[in-house]
Amino acid sequence: MLRIAHLVDDTNPGGVTRYLDFLASDPGMAELAHHQIVVVPRNRPARVAVEADVIVSHLAISWRGLPGLMSLRARHSGIPLIHVEHSYSAGFVTANVKARRRFHTLLRTAYALFERVVAVSHAQANWLLQRDLVQNDVLSVIQPQVDLTRLRALPRPSGPIRTIGAIGRLDRQKGFGPLIRAFRELEGKDLRLRIFGDGPERETLERLAGDDPRIRFEGFVADPCEAYGSCDAIVMPSRWEPYGLVAAEALAAGRTVMVSGVDGLMDHVATGAHYFGAPTIENLRKALMDTCKESQPTEVIHEVGPLHPGLAVQWRQLLFKTLPNLSISGRVADATS
Amino acid sequence: MPRASIIVPAYNVAKTLRETLHSLLGQTFTDLEVVVVDDGSTDRTVAVARSFGDPRIRVIQQPNRGLAGARNGGIAAARGEYIGFCDADDLWRPTKLAAHIAHLEANPHVGLSYSGSELIDMSGRPLKIAQRPRLKNVTAAHVFLRNPVGNGSAPVFRRAALDAIAWRPAHETLRDWWFDETFRQSEDIECWLRLALTTDWEIEGIPGLLTRYRIAPGGLSAGLRKQLESWERIAGKLEPLAPEFFVRHAAAARAYQLRYLARRAFSSGDGAAASRMIRASLATSRRPLLEEPGKTLTTLAASLALALLGHGGARVMQSRLKSRQQS
């Protein structure tokens, strides 16, 4: 059976970790190959001995890590390497990178070490192509997935929308500061803002929330079902978001979802999220106000239909493109026909 | 489909529109459309636009929405891959469009291409003042502090870059917004800065004074307070998008804005307002003094001379000021 090693250097609880957990446990993926999650030291991915037919990097690219990627390539010159880009996006560059051409050079150089590059959203793929970071013929798009069964089974909220949830690391990336400021401008004593997560911005955010009793910091919640289940709507005012798994989860849970118009969040607009443009106080306030006017969450499309093939089908196509001469399994031909 | 669209917001501009349209139809790059957006004019604006009989002129009519709304109406109707703007009293040099399109095609990272401007008076005579902005390595900080794009008739956008900043406010049913229609002043700098802060499109200039930008005389001093207010509104609006950026640059940008207003007040002969503004600028941040000592000190001296000595004493300073004036 085909052996795939997934290299990861970040095991913090977050989208990447949960995606890999799902990937390693999904029956369809297991049928496709044997998946091994390999935790490697940061910037030294070649240090760990790997026996595999395909290596998939879920690593964050950096100048410091580039020599490590090169030795990974050298050590495994005979087998295909695939990179999944979990970290970077147009919004990331806008908010964090001053020397943009230099940064683009880094990405181009790093991607050139791989047979294929996988974008985690269509918006991110557009950015990779538009900035000429990856050639079209080596780029694939596979949106991360996690197990949504329990979220789909959650009771749908009924009645007016009163409790807004924000889920994610308390980091400037997530834009929770403007969210709190916008929420505080809303009238309505029965409105609630529940913030799930922890991180470096916690103190700043608590200060912004001040003495508004409607805002609560719930801390990190290990079971996301609990968080989604306790809210009527979810808002994502992120400044950048290569994919934005929270939006997919919230839609699966039948919640109204509001997203800022950046990066991968735009992918979720096609499946029912509402976007409000740049996360200014005014835009956020209006989005919250309009949502709270609605008595029922709007209809959401979250079923995995023909437009969203299962994860295993997408990975099978990816592997088929990477290893055209290797017979993976009988279904390869079906999946790509 | 034309390769380029030039949007001309037009509100009661029957007097100046003809000359503007001549300058646009006379571009050396000819694969273009000129979208004249009649923003509820009550004069002969539409008749003037139609009188050309040139199929490249399209006239769009809408109820009055103001400058930002007129530009947005034009963007919604534009079919070009490149979109330029020319206000209905300004003029483009014949090679302007060709130069910007060559620039955008050679630099796929650039989303907004601009150039310097020559200032002209109501009769089209050069005022011998130019806007010669920084052209390369323009960051969001430069846009915020010095507005190198300069004026609303200077930029040519790539359509994709404009669409990256589009949004539709909840109450808007017709089309997206690119410029923020709630602004009645400073809507252009708000747009450029939002592009710089929320997208990874680069802003870059090309050499030459390719726009002829008309300055209407007088009447500015009364608007100083309003200008300052709308500038503060921009800072307040965009701050949540990049809080750390505003912590670093807001004071200096405010000081540059105050210095700019001091120079405008000086030009319109209001010495008291000019010296008030330049003193407020110095109190706000030392960065204009450190970064551009010559211009800052000249502004201070000229404002003081005008306030203390009147027009005679200030004339000497004025000639110095003019020769250095940028934006």
Return the residue in A280, A290, A298 with the most chain B beta carbons within 10 A, the one to mutate for interface testing. A280
* Span A60-76, pLDDT tens digits: 999 999 999 999 999 99
Confidence band for A313, pLDDT divided at 50, 70 and 90: confident
**What's the token pair of residue A256?**
């109204």
Going by CATH, does the domain composed of B4-214 fall within 3.40.50.300?
A: no
For residue A336, the model assigns a pLDDT of 41
For residue B327, the model assigns a pLDDT of 44
Alpha helices in chain B (DSSP H): 14-25, 45-51, 66-77, 96-106, 140-146, 159-163, 187-198, 224-238, 243-267, 271-284, 287-291, 293-324
Distance CA A245, CA A146 (A): 8
For residue A327, the model assigns a pLDDT of 60
Amino acid at the residue B111: G
Determine whether the interchain pair A132/B241 forms a contact, defined as Cβ–Cβ distance below 8 Å. Answer: no
Closest residue of A to B197, CA-based? A94
* Span A15-57, pLDDT tens digits: 788 899 999 988 889 999 999 999 999 889 988 889 999 999 9
**What's the token pair of residue A280?**
């200014």
Q: Which one of A94, A104, A279 has the shortest CB-CB distance to B240? A: A279
Distance CA A255, CA A246 (A): 11
Closest CA to B79 of B169, B177, B5, B188: B5
Q: B160 contacts in A (CB within 8 Å)?
A: 130
Confidence band for A273, pLDDT divided at 50, 70 and 90: very high
A95 to chain B, closest Cα gap in Å: 7
Range(s) of chain A covered by CATH 3.40.50.2000:
3-145+310-336, 149-293
* Contacts for B72 with CB less than 8 Å, ≥ 6 apart: B65, B175, B176, B177, B178, B179, B181
Closest residue of B to A275, CA-based? B167
**C-beta of residue A82 within 8 angstroms of C-beta of residue A106:** no
A277 to chain B, closest Cα gap in Å: 5
For residue A249, the model assigns a pLDDT of 93
Closest residue of A to B171, CA-based? A286
* Span A161-173, pLDDT tens digits: 999 999 999 999 9
Q: A127 contacts in B (CB within 8 Å)?
A: 200
Q: Which one of A127, A131, A261 has the shortest CB-CB distance to B167? A: A261
Q: A277 contacts in B (CB within 8 Å)?
A: 166-169
Determine whether the interchain pair A131/B109 forms a contact, defined as Cβ–Cβ distance below 8 Å. Answer: yes
Kindly give the pairing relationship between strand B91-92 and strand B82-85: unpaired
**Residue with more model confidence, B6 or A98:** B6
For residue B105, the model assigns a pLDDT of 97
CATH code, A3-145+310-336: 3.40.50.2000
Determine whether the interchain pair A130/B108 forms a contact, defined as Cβ–Cβ distance below 8 Å. Answer: yes
Going by CATH, does the domain composed of A149-293 fall within 3.40.605.10?
A: no
**How many CB atoms neighbour CB A185 within 10 A?**
12
Q: Which one of A98, A280, A283 has the shortest CB-CB distance to B139? A: A98
Q: B238 contacts in A (CB within 8 Å)?
A: 280
**What's the token pair of residue A123?**
């918006």
Closest residue of A to B198, CA-based? A94
Q: Which one of A178, A278, A286 has the shortest CB-CB distance to B170? A: A286
Q: B202 contacts in A (CB within 8 Å)?
A: 100
For residue B264, the model assigns a pLDDT of 85
Determine whether the interchain pair A280/B170 forms a contact, defined as Cβ–Cβ distance below 8 Å. Answer: no
A293 to chain B, closest Cα gap in Å: 12
Determine whether the interchain pair A278/B242 forms a contact, defined as Cβ–Cβ distance below 8 Å. Answer: no
Determine whether the interchain pair B170/A177 forms a contact, defined as Cβ–Cβ distance below 8 Å. Answer: no
Enclosing H/E stretch for A218: strand A215-219
Which of these ranges, A101-110, A244-253, B309-318, has the smallest mean pLDDT? B309-318
A interface with B, Cβ–Cβ < 8 A, is 90-91, 93-95, 97-98, 100-101, 104, 127, 130-132, 172, 175, 177-178, 181, 239, 261-262, 275-283, 286-287, 290
Q: B165 contacts in A (CB within 8 Å)?
A: 278
DSSP assignment letter at A155 = P
The pLDDT of residue A333 is above 50:
no
ipTM computed for the complex:
0.79
For chain B, give the number of residues. Answer: 327
How far lies B187's CA from each of A45, A132, A199, in Å? 49, 32, 36
Enclosing H/E stretch for A3: strand A3-8
Backbone phi, then psi, for A195, in 5-degree steps? -110, 115
Instruction: Report domain extents, chain B.
Output: 4-214, 221-324
Confidence band for A335, pLDDT divided at 50, 70 and 90: very low
**C-beta of residue B99 within 8 angstroms of C-beta of residue B156:** no
Q: A132 contacts in B (CB within 8 Å)?
A: 108
A125 to chain B, closest Cα gap in Å: 15
For residue B107, the model assigns a pLDDT of 95
For residue B219, the model assigns a pLDDT of 54
Give the residue-averaged pLDDT of A145-170. Answer: 92
Q: pLDDT under 70 in chain B at which residues? A: 218-222, 311-327
pTM of the model: 0.86
Q: B168 contacts in A (CB within 8 Å)?
A: 277
